[in-house]
Chains A and B, each alone.
Chain A
């Protein structure tokens, strides 16, 4: 299972980096989403995939799943959700004001 997860993570990172390197702002934002998804899966995989037990630890628990990664991922998802929505609004606003979403053109105008 870890192997499949690693491959998935690799694919997600590849797509994310590819999109980050494109010119269109919207594609770049999607790229950051892919990257964060990849990293969340990485967090889950790195803390070992365990199944068959609840994430609860009683006094006499025989086995349990580590609940911490889920908590971390949840926090991180919330943060990336907020940042992505901010980025989308920012992209929309800059498209309105600057008249382009092409990163090359945005750079030229600054000089």
Chain B
């Protein structure tokens, strides 16, 4: 029992609850948001330190011993993801302060952002599959409001699709939970792990596993990503950075959790599905990244490629691959947040998201240009940046597990990631300097990242902070490795997780 586990939820929840009351006081909103997000980071650091020292931490709500009641569990994977969430949440709060217009800020932007963090942290920490559904909904409902906030025509259109897709997938989620409860009579994930292993995973349980795979793939954008490029083009840059960094990763985390802990009995079926889905996702994401010539779409297809790559690590599911998955998840959260922040700034500077209409920004925005370039290298996995260690481990694991084709596809798509981003860099920063186009956000046609209000120089600071983290994660990989290895070890040996919860 460790009461610390509730704090990653409690801090953003309290922050949001206070902020809802003072809608009009923008300065107050900004200060409290910043303080709340820094407090969240402090809690996350303590949590990681405790898990490192004392192993898996648990919290039984209201003292109901498992398998009854709701449990919160922090193994190393959860703790590290909580840390990444808190860190990225903090930088995005800082970026939002300068980049989100006052109109949005006075209409509950910050409370919604913190509610979203509550849902994300809850999804990472919960050890109960129905509670996972509830945390998902907290996160999704905040994201519905964030994506439509501002109410431009494009946002309204995309929100309708986004909400409908998620309502349907949530319905399937409840159906999958119903089937699982009918078959096993359990909701606690550790208990489920034991019961599914006892029953032997075949027939009906495999069907349920595939149903869960479909549900979480819809949320993560694994193969079923058709909704993602459109929906993630509509809201302001800060919101997309938040979504691209956190929302899809929550889906990936639940895939990893469910298929390492509960449905690990029949990898010949489930993990083969995941492997195929991963391969197709990477290829289609790469095609999308090559096909489009406007920045939001290219960046969104890059999100899809990385989801496919992480799923490749999950499909392999050996020691190297799983610790690689954790490392790559951490890297990708930071790098995607940074990528969308920089993409938003480029569009702000050029006045358009279309590559054909921009050029020569390097003269006026040298720092922005080189930061984007370094981020592109990190995403492609060039050492010594943060993308390299995770990618190396996943591909090493893939070779050891005999997934030669997937390893080849992922290496090839790494090149395409680099190519597509360097193409953005060249089009935006090289060539002749062009006149800045007026940012037109409400004609419903132009896919611009609307909602910027000013050209503050301070907007580069949060991006610089994230860039330092990415470089540090790459250079200091040796220092991060013990943490990641511990996380991968628990994922590989679900008995440890079960033991920590059902010890008596």
Contact = CB atoms under 8 A, between A and B. Distances in A.
Interface string A3-46: 00000000000000000100001001000100110011011001
Interface in B396-448: 444-445
B296 to A, nearest CB: 13
B177 A43 contact: yes
Interface string A66-85: 00110010011001101100
Interface string B143-167: 0110010010110110110011001
A25 B130 contact: no
Contacts of A97: 151, 153, 156
Contacts of A42: 174-175, 178
B160 A91 contact: yes
B182 A48 contact: yes
A64 interface: no
B156 A39 contact: no
| Interface size class, chain B | 20 to 34
Interface string A85-102: 011001101100110000
B153 A87 contact: no
B289 to A, nearest CB: 20
B187 A76 contact: no
B contact face: mostly helix, strand, loop, or mixed: helix
Contacts of A43: 174-175, 177-178, 181
Contacts of B157: 94, 98, 106, 109-110
B134 interface: yes
A25 B163 CA distance: 12
A46 to B, nearest CB: 3
Interface in B179-229: 179, 181-182, 185, 187
Given A43-B177, A47-B178, A97-B153, A106 B160 contact: yes
A32 B174 CA distance: 13
A103 B282 CA distance: 30
A25 B168 contact: no
B378 to A, nearest CB: 32
A22 B129 CA distance: 33
A47 B181 contact: yes
Nearest to A107: B157
B498 to A, nearest CB: 21
A53 B501 CA distance: 31
B227 to A, nearest CB: 13
Given A46-B182, A87-B167, A90-B148, A79 B153 contact: no
A36 B164 CA distance: 12
A72 B181 CA distance: 11
Interface string B129-142: 01001100100010
B499 interface: no
Contacts of A86: 141, 144-145, 163
Interface of B: 130, 133-134, 137, 141, 144-145, 148, 151, 153-154, 156-157, 159-160, 163-164, 167-168, 170-171, 174-175, 177-179, 181-182, 185, 187, 230, 444-445
12 contacts: A32-B167, A36-B171, A47-B182, A72-B130, A72-B177, A83-B144, A87-B163, A90-B159, A90-B163, A93-B151, A94-B160, A109-B444
